[in-house]
Amino acid sequence: MADSTTSTLLAVFLYSAFAVGQQAATPYVEKYFDQIIDHFNFGTYGSQTYKQRYLIQDKWWDGKGPIFFYTGNEGDITSFWENTGLMFDLAPEFSALVLFAEHRYYGKSLPFGSQSFDLDKIGLLTIEQALADYAILLTHIKQELNATYSPVIAFGGSYGGMLSAWMRFKYPNLITGSLAGSAPIYLLTPDIDRRFFYQDVTKDFQMADQMCEPKVRQAFTELNNLAAQGPSGLAEISTRFNLCSKLTNSKEYKHFLGWIRNAFGTLAMVDYPYPSSFLAPIPANPVKVACGHIVQSADVLSGLALASGVLYNGTTGQLKCFDIKAEFVDCADPSGCGTGPNGMAWDYQACTEISLPAGSDNVTDMFPVLPFTPEMREQYCLKTWNVTPRADWGNIQYWGRDIKSASNILFSNGNLDPWHRGGVLKSLSDTLLAVPVEGGAHHLDLRGSNPLDPPGVIKAREVEKFHISLWVNGA
C-alpha cells in the first residue's frame, strides 16, 4: 500500500446542511494503493501501476469483524461515502471495518492523469478491470491488516450496486455476500424494453398530483409551437426560461428539451422524503415540489421553468440564469452522464458495456420525442469514442438473466425509483433475494436512518441487516 504524499490523511466531511436530522459524516482516512493498470494483458503496460484512491475507517473494527466494502461507481468516492449512511449505522453493531474503493477513471483514480481519456488509453475503463481492482485491493488490505478470515460484505447503489452483485458473481472467494441497491443489472440484456425509465418518471409525477402530467404535456406542446415560429419563438422561450444564452436553432432547442427532461428524471431518482444534496441541493419530496410549481403557476410554461429549476437552482436559488450547455451534456446515457471528467468516463462506459434506457416518445411518457435507438447509440459512440457497442456481451460476461447459480445477494429496489424495472424484482432462490422498498426512490435504503424515512425503507433495512448477520456468522 502506498500513501500519496499529496493525499489528505484525515478529512472530515459533513452531510448537507439541507439534510434533516443528519449528523456529521463519519471521518475517514484517505489512502492510495499502487494498482495494476491492466490486469489482463501482460504486454503493453506490464507491471505498471496507478494510484487508486480508497477511504477507510476502523473506528468500530475489533480486528476480527467483517469488512463492509463499498464498490465505488461513477463518481468521486467521497460523494458515496457521504451518502451511504446505512454502512455506518450497521458497522458498530458488527464491529466492522468500513472500506470505500474508488472506481478507475473517476474522482482522483485516473490511471494516466490528464491523458486518461485519450482514445489510446480509455479502453482500460471496463467493468472487468474495475472488479479486478477491487479484488486485488481487498486481498492486499486483508493481508496487511491480518484480516484473512474476516468476511467481506459488498455494498453498492445504482451502478455501484451492479458492481457489488458482480463482485459476488466473479469473486465469491472474496465476497461473502452483497447488498445491491437499485441495481439495474438487466440493462445488460439486449432484449429488455428500454422505455421503462421515462415511463416510470412519468408515473412518479402522476402519483404526486393527477394534474401534473397533463400540464407537463401541455407545456411541451406550447414549447414546440413557439419553436416552430423560428427566431422569435426561440427568443421567447429563452426569456421565459431565463437562459443565459438565447436559443438560435433547432439543435440548441433539442438540447434545451433534454435539459428539462434531465431535471425531471433526476428529481424522480432522488425523490427522498427529506432534503438532500447527493446530486444537487434538493428539497424534500422534490417531485411533489416540482408538481406544485406546474399545477399552481399561472401558465404551464412558467410552471415548467420553475419545476426544472428545482434541480438546477436547488434550494439555494443563487443562479441568475441557466447555462444549459454547462448544466446538461448530451451523451450515450439519455438519463444523463453528468459533467466534467466523471461524465466523460460514464459516457464511454455507456458506449461499451453498459447499455442504458431508450429516449422518450411522448406516447408512453409525458416527454418530447427525443429517441435514442441502438442505431443512434452506435453512430454516436463510433463518432465520439471510435467504439462500437457489443449488445450481447452482457449476456456472456455477466450472465444476463440466468443468475440463479449465484448466492448471498440482496437486490433492493424502491417503487418510486425509475430504474427499478431494470433490476431483480423477484427472489430467485433462498439466498438470491429481491427486497422491495415501498415508498423508496433511488437506493434510499442505503442512506442513513432518518426520522422521515417511510415504513417501507425501515422494513427493508431490517431484512438487509438480518441477512448480513447470517452471512457474517457463516449461516
Residue of 76, 333, 365, 417 marked catalytic: 417
The candidate with the shortest Cα–Cα distance to 237, out of 227, 251, 229, is 227
User: Are 143 and 203 members of one domain?
Assistant: no
Flag whether 257 is in a domain.
yes
Flag whether 23 is in a domain.
no
User: Is there a catalytic annotation at residue 191?
Assistant: no
User: Are 183 and 65 members of one domain?
Assistant: yes
| Distance in angstroms (rounded) separating the CA atoms of residues 130 and 114 | 19
Residue of 158, 238, 276, 277 marked catalytic: 158
Q: CB count, 10 Å around CB of 122?
A: 23
Flag whether 185 is in a domain.
yes
| Distance in angstroms (rounded) separating the CA atoms of residues 169 and 164 | 9
User: Are 251 and 364 members of one domain?
Assistant: yes
**CA dist 451 → 55, 274, 455, 463 (Å):** 28, 9, 10, 19
CATH at residue 318: 1.20.120.980
The candidate with the shortest Cα–Cα distance to 281, out of 317, 313, 314, 320, is 314
User: Is there a catalytic annotation at residue 417?
Assistant: yes
| Distance in angstroms (rounded) separating the CA atoms of residues 93 and 95 | 6
User: Are 36 and 118 members of one domain?
Assistant: yes
User: Are 374 and 225 members of one domain?
Assistant: yes
Contacts of 101 (CB under 8 A, 6+ apart): 52, 54, 69, 70, 71, 72, 77, 133, 134, 137
User: Are 262 and 361 members of one domain?
Assistant: yes
Question: Of 346, 365, 385, at which residue does a domain stop?
Answer: 385
Flag whether 437 is in a domain.
yes
Q: Looking at 297-430, list the stretches that DSSP marks H as alpha helix, in order from N- to C-terminal side.
A: 300-312, 324-327, 340-350, 374-385, 393-397
Contact predicate 69/16, CB 8 Å: no
Per-residue pLDDT of the chain (475 residues; tens, 9 = 90+): 333 322 222 232 223 333 333 445 689 999 999 999 999 999 889 889 999 999 999 999 999 999 999 999 999 999 999 999 999 999 999 999 999 999 999 999 999 999 999 999 999 999 999 999 999 999 999 999 999 999 999 999 999 999 999 999 999 999 999 999 999 999 999 999 999 999 999 999 999 999 999 999 999 999 999 999 999 999 999 999 999 999 999 999 999 999 999 999 999 999 999 999 887 889 999 999 999 999 999 999 999 999 999 999 876 668 899 999 999 999 999 999 999 999 999 999 999 999 999 999 999 999 999 999 999 999 999 999 999 999 899 999 999 999 999 999 999 999 999 999 999 999 999 999 999 999 999 999 999 999 999 999 999 999 999 999 999 998 6
User: Is there a catalytic annotation at residue 39?
Assistant: no
User: Are 247 and 371 members of one domain?
Assistant: yes
CATH at residue 95: 3.40.50.1820
Name the grid cell of 393: 456481451
Residue of 103, 420, 442, 467 marked catalytic: 442
Q: CB count, 10 Å around CB of 209?
A: 17
User: Are 367 and 408 members of one domain?
Assistant: no
pTM of the model: 0.93
Q: What backbone torsions phi and psi does residue 177 show, to the nearest 5 degrees?
A: -165, 160
User: How many domains is the chain built from?
Assistant: 2
**CA dist 87 → 60, 96, 134, 210, 451 (Å):** 12, 9, 18, 37, 17
What is the secondary structure of 100-158 as a DSSP string?
Answer: EEPPTTSTT--TTGGGTTSTTTGGG--HHHHHHHHHHHHHHHHHHTT-TT--EEEEEET
| Distance in angstroms (rounded) separating the CA atoms of residues 325 and 15 | 29
User: Which amino acid is present at 412?
Assistant: S
Range of the domain at 297: 196-385
